[in-house]
Amino acid sequence: RFPGHEFNTLNIAQKIKRIEKDERFFGEVIGEIRSSDAVLWAFPLYVLLVHAHYKRFIELIFERGATEAFHNKYAASLSTSIHFFDHTAHNYMRAVCEDLKMKYVGSFSPDMHDLLKEDERERLTLFAESFLDAVQNHNPTATWYAPLTRSESAYRPGNVAATVDTGEKKVAILTDIEDEDSNLARMVGRFKACFSDNVEVHNLHSVNIKGGCLGCLRCGFNNVCVYQDKDEFVNFYNAKLRTADVLVLAGTIKDRYLSSRWKLFFDRSFFNTHTPSFVGKQFGFIISGPLAQIPNLRQILEAYAEWQQANVVDIVTDEYEDSDEIDVLLDSLAKRLVSFSEKGYIKPRTFLGVGGMKIFRDDIWGKLRFVFQADHRYYRRHGIYDFPQRDFRTRIRNGVMMLLTKIPPVRREFPKRIKTEMIKPHQRILERHGS
């Protein structure tokens, strides 16, 4: 649609191993970007963000000092998905672009089937026109995110006064520690010491993971990954994590997310497709880095756990000048994780968990059922297909009441009685229990 412009495509996720190992090739990719007028970041959604390999490329930009190639260039992002947390992926990309001192114009995030519709293709064309107009006319762009301010405080753990008895509960700590003298390593060590026994620490760098998620969807039929027996990931996930009662995820912030190794973990976990695999478990997060400055990442962590139908007990970071404060928070996290696990406490899900599952429910019931047959079986077996139209009692009541409210005296009475009628069922419960 825009023959007057030249579009060069760089498949950075597909070629990440070569980009990572061959610095000359990495330089060629950066050279293409340096000679361009604008960058369109294009990707399919992978577990609330971009693909792990895409994330790794972004890390390499900062690690190898190539940020200047992006300065003052116009940028936009384009994704496809079924709208499951596509906003967190685009928030991430916008923040990264602003960290790279780019001029971010906007994002376009259609459902993957939208582009089959003529009006949606026209919408895409209008987005492209707006993007190219901004580049040609040097339009001003707003900045949404402030630069990150990273603390230089070193966490020095104190002694543990009293350990937590895990009883029959199994605690698994999953981390990506690379530097044993880092704040994250010290926090994990201090947290592990909070327990008397039955705690395992697993480092993602020690797990043989042959590659990233291929998006082949072979797992859709029966949750069997194409890598099934080619590396350790599936066996590790099932044997070490699914069998735990308490899961603590510990990582260091890189750019505006955790590490690409952590993203690889989340992507490869998709062999479970859209079926929760940590139902009823207690979740804790230990984060090194400026999490308070990245609400988008906090939402990603909470949404992941809520969609899993797990319970987020707390998130502890090293954003405190006083190490004693961190110790107190780690102690409290350890106690509450075991206590909530023993009591089986799972707090009500918020929009993050409820809304996300409804998106999956509708698409698995509809156009994605033949692809994700394992999801369909699970959803049907666990009552996730809870469409309100099956509630015939409510349908009949609504029909009757809608007819009655067409009568003027009933309509006038309605505002007077609505609150009383709303609380009647709850009042009956209180009366039944003698309150």
* Ordered per-residue pLDDT tens for the chain, 435 residues: 999 999 999 999 999 999 999 999 999 999 999 999 999 999 999 999 999 999 999 999 999 999 999 999 999 999 999 999 999 999 999 999 999 999 999 999 999 899 899 999 999 999 999 999 999 999 999 999 999 999 889 999 999 999 999 999 999 999 999 999 999 999 999 999 999 998 999 999 999 999 999 999 999 999 999 999 999 999 999 999 999 999 999 999 999 999 999 999 999 999 999 999 999 999 999 999 999 999 999 999 999 999 999 999 999 999 999 999 999 999 999 999 999 999 999 999 999 999 999 999 999 999 999 999 999 999 999 999 988 767 788 889 889 989 998 999 988 888 888 888 889 989 999 999 875
Query: Do the beta carbons of residue 82 and residue 95 sit within 8 Å?
Result: no
Q: How many residues does the chain have?
A: 435
- How far apart are alpha carbons 179 and 330 in whole angstroms? 20
Q: pTM of the prediction? A: 0.94
Query: Do the beta carbons of residue 253 and residue 297 sit within 8 Å?
Result: yes
Query: Do the beta carbons of residue 280 and residue 345 sit within 8 Å?
Result: no
- How far apart are alpha carbons 274 and 309 in whole angstroms? 12
Nearest to 26 by CA among 16, 40, 35: 16
Query: Do the beta carbons of residue 52 and residue 267 sit within 8 Å?
Result: yes
How many Cβ atoms are within 10 Å of 10's Cβ, its own excluded? 17
Nearest to 236 by CA among 268, 282, 214: 268
- How far apart are alpha carbons 358 and 352 in whole angstroms? 10
Count Cβ neighbours within 10 Å for each residue of 203-222 and write b for 16 or more, e otherwise.
bbeebebebbbeeeeebbee
Distance of CA 143 to the CA centre of its chain: 23
First to last CA, the chain: 69
List, as own/partner pairs, every contact residues 35-40 make where C-beta atoms lie below 8 angstroms and the sequence separation is at least 24, other chains included: 36/8, 36/73, 37/73, 37/74, 37/135, 38/73, 38/74, 38/75, 38/76, 38/131, 38/132, 38/135, 39/70, 39/73, 39/74, 39/75, 39/102, 40/75, 40/76, 40/77, 40/78, 40/131
Return the ∠ at Cα 289 (arms to 321 and 320), rounded to 5°. Answer: 15
